[in-house]
Amino acid sequence: MKQRPHVIAVIPARAGSKGLPGKNSVILGGKPILQYTLDEIAASRHVTHTVAITNDERFRDQAIAAGVTVIQEPEELAGDDVPIGQPIQFAVETYERQMGIRFDAVIQCEVTTPIRPPLIIDRCLDLLWEAGAEVATTVQVATIYPPQWVVRRDPDGRVHFVSPNPPLHRQDMELLYHLGGALAAFRRDVVGVPNYLKCDCVAVEYTNGECIYLDSPFDLLLAEFMLQHRWAAKEPSGLAKKLKSATDCAMVER
């Protein structure tokens, strides 16, 4: 019988957010945001272990209360200039030594993404293995504002398109994507790489409105609104249609 792959979900929670202070441990919909990530992990067919790495005391207390193994993030890995892959790698290596196990795949689950597409963990892992890739990440179509129309502003106030000769009509533009904040799945050998897009990387697409990453008070209000109206996870298409309609109207007005 083929052995079940060892898959660990790592939840990083670095303290010191400037956009939304204390975001790792905020209460959303009557429960800590950590619980939303734990619910997603529990729904996975593949995840066999879960660990959190943090230097945030309040988050650590919530994680321990929820039964999660917590690894203290070293001070040298807690700075804003440290790529998130380094504490993820530290957590995996530390847990492997403690458990005497070698993992086959690693899931990076940001605690500050309480709203994700349904079953996104298994969708990423299934694609990772089926495609024979090194990394599976998440993306969404860049529809709110076409990236081809992004401009650079000079010191004297003049602006120029970043893309040379961009199309003037949205329907003529190449379909481009934003990297999503839902999560990323890695084969063990590439955990900690500085830029995972330089690996053999595939992507799972999700619809605008299916994922909310908390980085500002507005994001928190939006997540609360989505949960209140039951658009999150269970009915993402309703919000997606509203967002698309609003976007199309905005583009027509332009």
Residue 178: per-residue pLDDT? 86
Tell me, yes or no, whether 154 lies in a domain. no
Tell me, yes or no, whether 147 lies in a domain. no
Tell me the mean pLDDT in the region 150-162: 92
For residues 48 and 142, which has the higher predicted lDDT (pLDDT)?
48
Give CA separation, 172 vs 139, 142, 150, in Å. 21, 14, 16
Tell me, yes or no, whether 150 lies in a domain. no
- State pLDDT tens for residues 81-139: 888 899 999 999 999 999 999 999 999 999 999 999 889 999 999 999 999 999 999 99
Tell me, yes or no, whether 20 lies in a domain. yes
Give CA–CA dist 37/43, Å, rounded.
Answer: 10
Residue 251: per-residue pLDDT? 38
Tell me, yes or no, whether 24 lies in a domain. yes
What is the Cα gyration radius of the chain? Answer: 20
For residues 109 and 180, which has the higher predicted lDDT (pLDDT)?
109
Q: Is the pLDDT of residue 243 over 80?
A: no
The tokens describing 104, both together, are 């086959």
The tokens describing 133, both together, are 């890739």
Give CA–CA dist 15/21, Å, rounded.
Answer: 8
Tell me, yes or no, whether 155 lies in a domain. no
Q: What CATH number is given to the structural domain containing 68?
A: 3.90.550.10
Tell me, yes or no, whether 122 lies in a domain. yes
For 120, the domain range is 7-139+177-253
Tell me, yes or no, whether 242 lies in a domain. yes
The total number of structural domains that make up the chain: 1
The residue to which tokens 């993404």 are assigned: 113
Instruction: State the CB neighbour count (10 A cutoff) for residue 107.
Output: 28
State the DSSP string of the chain. Answer: -PPPPPEEEEEEE-S--SSSTTGGG-EETTEETHHHHHHHHHT-SS--EEEEEES-HHHHHHHHHTT-EEEEPPGGG-STTS-THHHHHHHHHHHHHHHT---SEEEE--TT--B--TTHHHHHHHHHHHHT-SEEEEEEE--SS-GGG-EEE-TTS-EEESSSS--SSGGGSPP-EEEPSS-EEEEGGGTT-S-GGGSSEEEEE--TTS-B---SHHHHHHHHHHHHTT-SSSSHHHHHHHHHHHHHHHHHH-
- pLDDT tier at 230 (50, 70, 90 boundaries)? low
